[in-house]
Amino acid sequence: MMLAAVRLLTATVAALGALVGAAALPAAGGLVSDASHDAVTDPLHDVSRVSRRTGAAVQVTRPRPTVDATRFSITYASRAVFLRTNLVNLRPVPPQGNTFIIRSPRRSWYIYSETLPGLLGGVVDDTSFTKCFRATPRVKWAYRRDFVRFRIPLRCFGPRSPSWVRLDDASTVLYRRHFTYEDKPTPNLGPKVYRPKPGAQQGRRSCHHLA
């Protein structure tokens, strides 16, 4: 009798675990999600070296660690959208850059930050949020924690914040005299992440791996 009860409890827990696990997965095709956070992991050692003279690109056998990205993420919070790139051993070796392209129901947006000698904290050098970011630059190059993060206040999207945003593209780049070193994952990185409802807790998180 006791053994039967234990088996029934084990089967119930396993069924609930499978149900929760299935709910945490993105919708078919990985293109739509009701999460307010999404992340994509990027393989190690996939950095390309691009000739600044010819544009020819080759994958380097000894990649530059400061430009090798491991994860790109987007979070739709109650007051801002956060974009973050995690890297292997991010170093203060300017000039280097970080770019995101995101899409909303109405349009696409891009943002680019670059570090320069004397400006290791980075500047928002080019963005479609120009008017907003001239007054409030929101970028952090965290060398000790190996990430670059943008904070985009919702007012930067216009009078009405979008119902969803998605991560369309991203890249990291290290500039040198004759070459640039780039890590650029596949476009259309992630599903839609939705504006959190007022008073709601942070939505479900999902993560996708690039082959």
pLDDT of residue 150: 94
pLDDT at 85 over 50: yes
**Model pLDDT for residues 96-134, shown as the tens digit of each residue:** 999 999 999 999 999 999 999 999 999 888 888 877 766
Taking Cα atoms as reference points, which of 96, 36, 104 lies closest to residue 66? Answer: 96
Higher pLDDT, 13 or 203: 203
Q: Are 166 and 192 in contact (CB under 8 A)?
A: yes
Q: What is the mean pLDDT of residues 175-181?
A: 94
Residues 6 or more apart from 53 whose CB is under 8 A from it?
A: 178
Contact 187, 168 (CB under 8 A): yes
pLDDT beyond 80 at 160: yes
pTM: 0.76
Where residue 28 falls among pLDDT bands split at 50, 70, 90?
Answer: very low
Q: Is the dihedral of CA 117, 149, 100, 184 positive or negative?
A: positive
pLDDT of residue 158: 86
Q: Residue 110's closest CA among 119, 101, 123?
A: 101
Domain residue ranges in the chain: 33-198+205-209
